[in-house]
Structure 1
Amino acid sequence: MTDSRSKTLRLHMPQWQGGNLSDYHLSSELLSWLLPPSDGPDETVPVPSPGGPGSLRMEDGILAKTALLEQVRSARRAIEKHRPDKILTIGGDCLVDLAPIAYLNKHYGRVGVLWIDAHPDVQTPKETPHAHAQVLGMLLGQGAATSRRKSKITSTPLW
């Protein structure tokens, strides 16, 4: 029997820039503190605190695109470092799900995702500058132009 504990990655990503709401950062920090420690690997994606230096800039119709790309790629590196079978994602806005879902889809060959949210996350920069509302579109290859370089959820690199 294999030890499944080491196959579950606890990924903390206190991202807030995708929705431009500092509450996402705080709630992510609180959840990370409240949840019991994991028996498997634990990674935290570096995300600057809200109100830190620099302002969020609009790039290609996406608010804070450079920072968000850096965070998604950092999450992808953390995931690939451990190559888990499961991922517990503790995060801020919806964009934190991009790297874990794309990885798990590639890992298993195909996954089903039940997405329950207050707004449709299949939008593009034409509809909203907030990347947290674009994550499903990106996973389906219908999001921002840079997400369409590869096909569907199996795309590598992400976004």
Structure 2
Amino acid sequence: MARFVVVPQWQGSGSDRAMRLATGAARIAEDLPRSATEYVDVPLEAGSALDTGVVRASSVLRVREELAATLGQGQGPAVTVGGDCGVELAAVEHAASLDHGIAVVWFDAHADLNVPEESPSGAFHGMVLRSILGDGPPAFASRSAVQPSRTVLAGVRSMDPGEEAFAAESGVAVLAGTEASTEAILAALRATGATSVYVHIDLDVLDPASVTAVNHPEPFGLSVSDLLDAVKSIRAEFELAGAGIMEFAPADEVPGGVTDPDAGDDLTTILRLIAALRA
């Protein structure tokens, strides 16, 4: 896999530091091969809800169409670089349109299975997986939905009651926190019967001791070595339908006018993950 699509979307985030996600996408892009990297324009404006119950819906929907068009013009699977997790709707939708039997492994501290009526923030990044599964706010429902029974939540540590109920009722496999060992993930993916997998990585799946530049850290996450081992093992056993790396949120500057020093370590981790995906 040698194709990258950079999408510096921040409008799907519920954080008051959402704009850092655009900075994060740009930082990652600086280390990607220029000849293999494409960019999706993100509106400058926040956007309006459009009576969807999703904040900034107009901008998020616009980016969805722009990303879908960009992915549709290329060949082979891509690594999509966000931005907030809402970017993944179009990315997974594209992968599923090419192979209706894919599985999705969702490395994330949060389930992203909310609906507008139950969402604490109204932010789409907390609803995106629900939309990928063909449910959620109607304007965002996937045009090539993934089956819940072919979905594995890995490393999740924060789920709202409605998300827990949906996962249990729909058949989404949940491997909470450090229960998401490589062996457990592979077993859950094998149980789906899929031969190809889309790998979603929200960096907050990592323990806060391992990553600093995220907006929504949760304790008791995976270590970098555990996540790398899982990605490499998935890559070795399954065809890769595509991948996404989301929610890198470095500060532009820290006091003293210098670039956030901790973000450099996080960027090294991101590049190691990208290398594992491309192996």
TM-score computed with the length of structure 1 as normaliser: 0.78
Whether 2:24 is the aligned partner of 1:27: answer yes
**Equivalence for 2:127:** 134
Counterpart of 2:39 in structure 1: which amino acid? T
1:50-81 Cα deviation digits (max 9, x unpaired):
xxxx5543332111111110001000000111
CA displacement at 1:39 relative to structure 2: 5.1
The reply on whether 1:102 has 2:93 as its aligned counterpart is yes
Structure 1: gaps spanning 5 or more residues = 155-159
Distance 1:152 1:146 in 2: 14
* Residue in structure 1 matched with residue 32 of structure 2 by the alignment: 36
Provide the C-alpha distance between the structure 2 equivalents of 1:109 and 1:149, rounded to a whole number of angstroms: 12
Aligned letter for 2:3?
Answer: L
Name the residue aligned to 1:62: 54
CA distance in 1, matches of 2:143, 2:28: 33
> 1:65 and 1:74 mapped to 2: Cα distance?
14
Aligned with 1:86: secondary structure? Answer: coil
Structure 2 CA distance, aligned partners of 1:105 and 1:131?
A: 20
2:9 corresponds to: 15
Match of 1:146 in 2: 139
Structure of higher CA gyration radius = 2
Shift of 1:126: 1.1
8 Å CA contact 1:15, 1:47 repeated in 2: yes
Give the whole-Å Cα distance in 1 for the aligned partners of 2:142 and 2:109: 28
Matched length: 141
The answer to whether residue 80 in structure 2 is matched with residue 112 in structure 1 is no
Verify the 8 A CA contact 1:85 1:104 in the aligned structure 2.
no
The higher-RCO structure (CA 8 Å, 6+ apart) is 1
| Contact 1:62–1:130 (8 Å) recurs in 2 | yes
Give the secondary structure class of the aligned counterpart of 1:62: coil
Over the matched positions of the two proteins, sequence identity in percent amounts to 25
- SS in structure 2 of the partner of residue 43 of structure 1: strand
RMSD: 2.2
Mind listing any 5+ residue stretches in structure 2 that lack a counterpart?
148-279
> Runs of at least 4 residues of structure 1 off by over 6 A?
none
TM-score when normalising by structure 2: 0.46
Distance 1:15 1:150 in 2: 21
Which secondary structure does the structure 2 equivalent of 1:98 belong to?
Answer: helix
Structure 1 residues 90 and 151: alpha-carbon distance in aligned structure 2, compared to 1, 3 A threshold: closer
Contact (CA 8 Å) 1:9, 1:79: kept in 2 or not? no
Structure-2 residue corresponding to 1:47: 42
Deviations 1:94-126 (A, max 9, x none): 011111111111212321111021211111111
Seen in structure 2, the aligned counterparts of structure 1 residues 152 and 100 have a Cα distance that, compared at 3 Å, is same
SS of residue paired to 2:71: helix
CA contact (8 A) 2:131 2:142 kept: no
| Structure 1 counterpart of 2:71, one-letter code | I
**Paired residues of 2:134 and 2:141 also in contact (CA < 8 A):** yes
Change (3 A) 1:126 1:90: same
